[in-house]
Structure 1
Amino acid sequence: MYRTILIPVDGSKRAEAILGHVEKLGKIRDAEVVLLKVEEEPLLLEQDEVIDLIRYQVEFEKRKKISIDYLEALKARLREKDIRADTRLANGLVVKAILTTAAEIGADLIAIATHGMSGSPRVSYGSVAAGVLQAADIPILLIRSGSDR
């Protein structure tokens, strides 16, 4: 049923809470797990602002390396458990990048850990999860996670 599972992660333990659930699915279904980290563009320049492009590029490359190392560590964790895993790094708007990646890889399932907040039901599963829920045309597994402890 689920051959390709997309897992968006953001570097937090809270986001990684989904991994235990997906590990079980991956083993049962012999699915491939694709870990995705999205780097949001940090720049929103006004018309007359100037940017130090060299400094920006150095910072961008530094963040990219940290993200790649993070994804590779998660992939190794899954492979140690005999789960087929791959990684993707995207840039831009998070929800759009998740949906685009899901379409590109032919994902059958998007698995997301949400942060647990009180208040309205929409707020309780977070803005990224809400955006994915509204726009995705494939099944979504949401797991409510705790804090980053």
Structure 2
Amino acid sequence: MSDIRKILVPVDFSRNSCKVLRSAGGLAKSFGAQLSVVFVVQSFDDYSGFFVPHVPISQLEEEMVLNAEDKMQSFVKECLEPETPVQTRVLAGDVAESIVDHAADTGIDLIVIGTHGYKGMERVLFGSVAEKVVKTAPCPVLTINPYK
């Protein structure tokens, strides 16, 4: 594996992703790497046949991105040591594709992703984000089981 200078950590604001973020923070410190944290707001284009929202979809996505940006700051503060340098970003689109595209666009050397995030119906409908990222990432991917 080449030098690791940029580490990307996708999060979903769950307790599990907080554990993964803490582990990635330790890795970044060990490697002297830059830590980048992303959250992806799932695009509503995928749901257009399922429901009709009361507000325009673009406005709903905008509000979700703004709320996620606020949540990101408190989440990172809660999960990382105060002195940890970190960049954050909220994206919108297909979750796995957005993670992979962001990694390619920003020259990420390693993606650290949890094997378990939120569970339930989302898992049944969309499959594993981690699995899709592992299969399509432009760089090595370290998966972390937060239960171990």
TM-score interval, smaller chain: 0.7 to 0.9
Q: Report the TM-score, using the length of structure 2 for normalisation.
A: 0.77
Aligned match of 1:65: 66
Among candidates 12, 17, 28, match of residue 19 of structure 2: 17
Q: What is the number of equivalent residue pairs in this alignment?
A: 134
Moved more, 36-45 or 101-110: 36-45
Unaligned runs of 5+ in 1: 117-122
Unaligned runs of 5+ in 2: 118-123
Equivalence map 1:62-141=2 (5 Å): 62-77=63-78, 78=80, 80=82, 82-115=83-116, 127-141=128-142
Identical pairs, percent: 31
Large movers: runs of 4+ above 4 Å: 49-52
TM superposition shift of 1:88: 1.2
TM superposition shift of 1:5: 0.5
TM superposition shift of 1:26: 1.4
**Amino acid in the other structure paired with 2:32:** D
What's the RMSD between the two structures over aligned residues? 2.5
Q: Report the TM-score, using the length of structure 1 for normalisation.
A: 0.77
Question: Could you say what secondary structure the match of 2:70 adopts?
Answer: helix
Aligned match of 1:36: 38
Aligned match of 2:144: 143
**Amino acid in the other structure paired with 1:127:** S
